[in-house]
């Protein structure tokens, strides 16, 4: 178990870190930063780092998770740092590198955030979570949630491309499509989580997301060091297409850690690139504003970058750029699409439009001589163009289990300029509509893995509410209090076994008619069969049925 502290960015209060701490106990401030033992970590890394796994978890000491046993990984991180020589020749700078984040498990740099966020949820024993997304977070969280058995509700704004939405549903996530802007979608997701008492992922507001992005800086410095034949090296510039600002803030912090550990001798300048159709940070910076002027209706077609209201990320980044150098630049969609083609044709890198925005930004920075020809530049290629398997997947997934629900983000413009509120009544109705009639299932099973597997299979069917009990006695109490519509029962459990649970149920007039499906690993004797005969709906042998058979047996019984 790791032990470390955090500091509140608002009042400087320091306390020991507990998992998923949301706000400062002193002032309620949400912006918390972890404090690690950097000196000790520098010594450990000096001896051990080279022999560790090539994932973000090689930097374990500086990541906010308490127990390694909770890591949920798909091999994220340690993406290649590629020199782009043709692009470099064209722009007259021979030191341009691309950090190829397309090569993550779900093809965007959100995999770093997802791996850490889902691991932290697992550590906090969270079983169901809500996230708002412009696409890539939902895809990545869906993959990691599927892997760890957490049920996910993804709220996507209506501009998320169809292909990305389909990818999210493939993982079994519940998708709520909100016909409004991303900022409004975030608010609606928060209301839904509140209404359902579910865990809400707070994105950039949580220290987890920012800390995850640090690993980009660690890797860049380690990889550039290898190229230069030193242990670590910092580039002069880090360039990224920015929406909420989690990437640049995290990357800055990563380089700052390395600097404080005396592993690098400078902190790179950060270039924030936004699209003209949604450039609240760039515009506010050039107007000299201390807080960002939100963009109400983003007009860029590049939906991934649709954060119109950057909140506290903007003043933070503004300070960084003013103190340490850097730039705020905007480019238009057309330039970005052109760079998409250029990067594919000159370098063999096919990136999604949002990633090409960073490349268009680099071109502009070179042309305006903000970046000099001798400076080393790292551009984040943050995501891949999305593979399209339309013909195959369309019918199979989207039509068979339609999980995409629409709700209207009923927006009312107030008199005050800039203020937007949701018509409460309409929203509440929309949220209630998501609560269709559900049936409840109690799983009584002593093996945690088997229980998790059953829950995982069943939670993808929206219509089931799931209760679990780890032994016969708890199971009986659960059946008595919840009166579920169906019981999934294991036979072999210590103390009160499944047979006893069944006997107790049948002896109780109120519980006698609740259907039971037995799932067992026991080789049944003829005496066992006799005890079950006529009293259960069906019997499934562990390890011998596939998930669709289970779902089918259940829906037959509950019909």
Ligand X SMILES: *Cc1c(COP(=O)(O)O)cnc(C)c1O
DSSP state letter for 55: S
Q: How far is the CB of 358 from ligand X (least distance, A)?
A: 8
User: According to DSSP H, which parts of 149-229 are helical?
Assistant: 162-170, 182-196, 207-228
Residue 35 makes contact with Zn ion by CB under 5 A:
no
DSSP state letter for 535: T
Q: Which does 366 bind (CB under 5 to 8 A by kind): ligand X, Zn ion, none?
A: none
Q: Which of residues 97-126 bind ligand X (CB under 6 A)?
A: 108, 110
Could you give the CA distance from residue 132 to residue 309 in angstroms, rounded to a whole number? 14
Q: How far is the CB of 209 from ligand X (least distance, A)?
A: 8
**DSSP bridge pairs for 381:** 100
The phi and psi torsions of 2 (rounded to 5 degrees) equal -95, 150
Nearest residue to ligand X, scored by beta-carbon proximity: 247
**Stretch of 159-167, 218-226, 238-246, 399-407 lying at the interface with ligand X (CB under 6 A):** 238-246
Extract the tokens encoding 422. Answer: 């949701």
Q: Which of residues 136-155 bind ligand X (CB under 6 A)?
A: 136
Q: How far is the CB of 20 from ligand X (least distance, A)?
A: 20
**DSSP bridge pairs for 292:** none
**Stretch of 31-39, 61-69, 243-251, 438-446 lying at the interface with ligand X (CB under 6 A):** 243-251
The helix (H) or strand (E) run that includes residue 115 is helix 110-123
Residue 456 makes contact with ligand X by CB under 6 A:
no
Could you give the CA distance from residue 467 to residue 9 in angstroms, rounded to a whole number? 40
Could you give the CA distance from residue 499 to residue 504 in angstroms, rounded to a whole number? 9
Could you give the CA distance from residue 358 to residue 49 in angstroms, rounded to a whole number? 30
Q: How many residues bind Zn ion (CB under 5 A)?
A: 8
Could you give the CA distance from residue 56 to residue 74 in angstroms, rounded to a whole number? 10
472 with 487: CB under 8 angstroms? no
Residue 244 makes contact with ligand X by CB under 6 A:
yes
Sequence-ordered list of residues with C-beta below 8 angstroms from that of 515, at least 6 positions apart, any chain: 485, 486, 487, 536, 537, 557, 558
**Stretch of 20-28, 134-142, 248-256, 434-442 lying at the interface with Zn ion (CB under 5 A):** 20-28
**Residue 287 CB: number of other CB atoms within 10 A?**
9
Q: How many residues bind ligand X (CB under 6 A)?
A: 16
**Stretch of 83-91, 143-151, 225-233, 350-358 lying at the interface with ligand X (CB under 6 A):** 350-358
**Stretch of 34-42, 91-99, 221-229, 347-355 lying at the interface with ligand X (CB under 6 A):** 347-355
Residue 32 makes contact with Zn ion by CB under 5 A:
no
14 versus 438: smaller Cβ distance to Zn ion: 14
**Residue 510 CB: number of other CB atoms within 10 A?**
10
Residue 379 makes contact with ligand X by CB under 6 A:
no
31 versus 328: smaller Cβ distance to Zn ion: 31
Which residues form the interface with Zn ion (CB under 5 A)? 8, 10-11, 13, 24, 26-27, 29
Which residues form the interface with ligand X (CB under 6 A)? 108, 110, 136, 241-247, 304, 352, 354-355, 382-383
């Amino acid at each position: 178990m790791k032990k470390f502290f955090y500091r509140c960015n608002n009042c400087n209060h320091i306390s020991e870190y507990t998992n998923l701490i949301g706000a400062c106990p002193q002032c309620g401030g949400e912006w918390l930063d972890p404090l690690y033992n950097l000196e000790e970590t520098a010594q450990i890394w000096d001896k051990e780092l080279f022999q560790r796994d090539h994932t973000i978890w090689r930097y374990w000491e500086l990541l906010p998770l308490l127990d390694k046993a909770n890591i949920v990984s798909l091999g994220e991180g340690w993406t290649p740092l590629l020199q782009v020589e043709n692009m470099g020749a064209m722009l007259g700078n021979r030191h341009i590198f691309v950090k190829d984040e397309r090569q993550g498990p779900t093809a965007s740099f959100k995999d770093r955030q997802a791996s850490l966020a889902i691991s932290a949820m697992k550590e906090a024993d969270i079983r169901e979570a809500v996230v708002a997304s412009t696409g890539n977070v939902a895809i990545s969280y869906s993959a990691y949630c599927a892997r760890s058995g957490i049920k996910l509700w993804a709220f996507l704004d209506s501009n998320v491309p169809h292909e990305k939405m389909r990818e999210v549903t493939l993982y079994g996530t519940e998708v709520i499509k909100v016909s409004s802007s991303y900022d409004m979608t975030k608010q609606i997701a928060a209301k839904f989580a509140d209404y359902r008492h579910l865990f809400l992922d707070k994105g950039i507001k949580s220290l987890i997301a920012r800390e995850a992005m640090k690993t980009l800086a660690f890797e860049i410095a380690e990889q550039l060091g290898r190229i230069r034949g030193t242990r670590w090296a910092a580039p002069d510039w880090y360039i990224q297409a920015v929406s909420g600002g989690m990437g640049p803030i995290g990357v800055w912090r990563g380089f700052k850690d390395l600097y404080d550990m005396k592993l690098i001798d400078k902190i790179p300048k950060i270039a924030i690139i936004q699209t003209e159709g949604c450039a609240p940070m760039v515009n506010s910076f050039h107007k000299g504003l201390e807080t960002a002027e939100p963009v109400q209706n983003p007009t860029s077609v590049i939906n991934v970058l649709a954060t119109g209201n950057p909140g506290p990320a903007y003043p933070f980044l503004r300070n960084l750029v003013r103190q340490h150098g850097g730039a705020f630049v905007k480019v238009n969609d057309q330039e970005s699409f052109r760079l998409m083609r250029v990067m594919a044709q000159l370098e063999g890198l096919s990136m999604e439009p949002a990633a090409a925005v960073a490349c268009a930004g680099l071109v502009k920075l070179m042309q305006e001589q903000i970046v000099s020809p001798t400076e080393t530049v790292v551009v984040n290629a943050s995501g891949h163009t999305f593979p399209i398997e339309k013909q195959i997947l369309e019918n199979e997934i989207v039509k068979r289990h339609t999980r995409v629900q629409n709700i209207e983000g009923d927006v009312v413009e107030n008199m005050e300029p800039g203020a937007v509120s949701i018509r409460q009544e309409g929203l509440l109705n929309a949220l209630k509509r998501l609560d269709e009639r559900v049936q409840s299932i109690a799983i009584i099973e002593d093996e945690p893995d088997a229980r998790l597997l059953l829950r995982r299979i069943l939670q993808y069917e929206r219509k089931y509410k799931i209760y679990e009990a780890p032994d016969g006695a708890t199971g009986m109490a659960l059946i008595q209090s919840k009166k579920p519509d169906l019981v999934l029962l294991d036979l072999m459990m210590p103390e009160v076994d499944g047979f006893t649970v069944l006997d107790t149920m049948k002896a109780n007039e109120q519980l006698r008619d609740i259907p039971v499906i037995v799932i067992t690993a026991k080789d049944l004797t003829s005496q066992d069969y006799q005890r079950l005969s006529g009293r259960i709906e069906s019997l499934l042998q562990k390890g011998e049925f596939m998930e669709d058979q289970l779902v089918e047996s259940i829906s037959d019984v509950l019909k």
